[in-house]
């Protein structure tokens, strides 16, 4: 099996400055890590490759420092990786991010399965996986908690739909997004860290390296959604204590909700 896992490097802290003009997170110099959901996605990929044979390649779009995240995936077991890095990719919303990732997939050869994390801990829209699949024209399913079987033509998975669990079979090639706690992610191997030459195994592409790239669909300029403002929710400690009988309480509560236009 040829498996591609999409991995995003995210801030390791929630104290991240935002560019006041573009509304984009300022990632440079911020302590960063692999998006936690992507560690579960990686582990699903490694376990599949061990069970059915094949290899796991990793793909990321990010600033040059995202190479560190891809190095970690190589030490965990990935055979090679692609980093899409160019200021022209910067400030991308979901549409532009999935467009860029679809170009990255185009650089990675044949694939049977693309695995994404369900969401990230910074943008956390949980939309990139499904949108990437739509861009590639392949079947997709989200919130996978278990991969039951893969017979070379299809993959059968279990998805957590909150109240129910759904079992679904998809035709390969397809894309799945993986829920957290679907498995126990492995740690990077010390021996691989010592032996692997990541500079050879990680290819970095700029927009100019991808002739089919349409700059109008990439980065901030290619993003229909722009984050206007990010601000912490106002903390309000006002309290209204209602007293009285059950009927009086429900009357007072209804009057309060009506006054505040909740009903």
Q: Please select the residue that binds ligand FAD; options are 32, 35, 102, 145, rule is CB under 6 A.
A: 35
Contact flag: residue 11 with ligand FAD (CB under 6 A): no
Contact flag: residue 220 with ligand FAD (CB under 6 A): no
- Paired with 117 in beta bridges are 178
Least Å distance, CB 77 to ligand FAD, is 17
| Cis, peptide link before residue 13, omega less than 30° from 0 | no
Closest CA to 161 of 181, 186, 143: 143
Pick the piece of the chain touching ligand FAD (CB under 6 A) from 71-79, 122-130, 133-141, 147-155: 122-130
Smaller CB separation from ligand FAD, 26 or 257: 26
Query: Which residue in the block uniquely carries the two structure tokens 């369900």?
Result: 118
Contact flag: residue 43 with ligand FAD (CB under 6 A): no
> Rounded to an integer, what is the distance from CA 87 to the centroid of its chain?
20
Contact flag: residue 90 with ligand FAD (CB under 6 A): no
Q: Report the distance separating Cα 160 and Cα 236, nearest Å.
A: 35
In the sheet that 113-117 helps form, which strands lie side by side, from edge to edge?
Answer: 164-171, 154-161, 139-150, 174-178, 113-117, 2-6, 55-61, 80-84, 202-205
Pick the piece of the chain touching ligand FAD (CB under 6 A) from 117-125, 179-187, 203-211, 250-258: 117-125
Contact flag: residue 145 with ligand FAD (CB under 6 A): no
Least Å distance, CB 248 to ligand FAD, is 42
Task: Scan residues 223-252 and list those touching ligand FAD (CB under 6 A).
Answer: 225, 227, 230
Smaller CB separation from ligand FAD, 94 or 174: 94
Where do contacts with ligand FAD occur on this chain (CB under 6 A)? 6-8, 25, 35, 37-38, 41, 59-62, 92-94, 97, 101, 116-117, 119-120, 122-129, 225, 227, 230
């Amino acid at each position: 099996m040829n498996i591609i896992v999409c991995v995003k490097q995210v801030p390791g802290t929630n104290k991240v400055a935002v560019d006041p003009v573009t509304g984009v997170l300022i990632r440079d110099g911020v302590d960063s890590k692999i998006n936690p959901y992507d560690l579960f996605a990686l582990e699903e990929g490694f376990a599949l490759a061990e069970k059915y044979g094949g290899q796991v390649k990793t793909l990321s779009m990010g600033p040059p420092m995202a190479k560190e995240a891809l190095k970690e995936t190589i030490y965990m077991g990935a055979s090679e990786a692609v980093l899409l890095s160019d200021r022209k990719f910067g400030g991308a919303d979901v549409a532009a991010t999935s467009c860029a990732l679809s170009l990255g997939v185009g650089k990675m050869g044949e694939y049977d399965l693309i695995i994404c994390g369900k969401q990230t801990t910074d943008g956390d829209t949980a939309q990139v996986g499904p949108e990437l699949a739509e861009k590639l024209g392949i079947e997709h399913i989200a919130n996978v908690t278990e991969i039951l079987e893969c017979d070379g033509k299809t993959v059968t998975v279990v998805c957590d739909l909150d109240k129910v669990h759904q079992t679904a079979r998809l035709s390969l090639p397809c894309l799945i997004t993986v829920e957290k706690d679907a498995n126990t992610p492995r740690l990077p191997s010390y021996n691989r860290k010592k032996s692997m030459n990541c500079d050879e195994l990680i290819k970095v592409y700029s927009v100019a390296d991808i002739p089919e790239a349409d700059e109008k669909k990439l980065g901030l300029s290619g993003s229909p959604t722009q984050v206007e403002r990010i601000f912490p929710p106002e903390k309000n400690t006002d309290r209204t204590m209602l007293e009285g009988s059950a009927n009086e309480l429900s009357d007072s509560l209804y009057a309060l909700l009506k006054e505040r236009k909740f009903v």
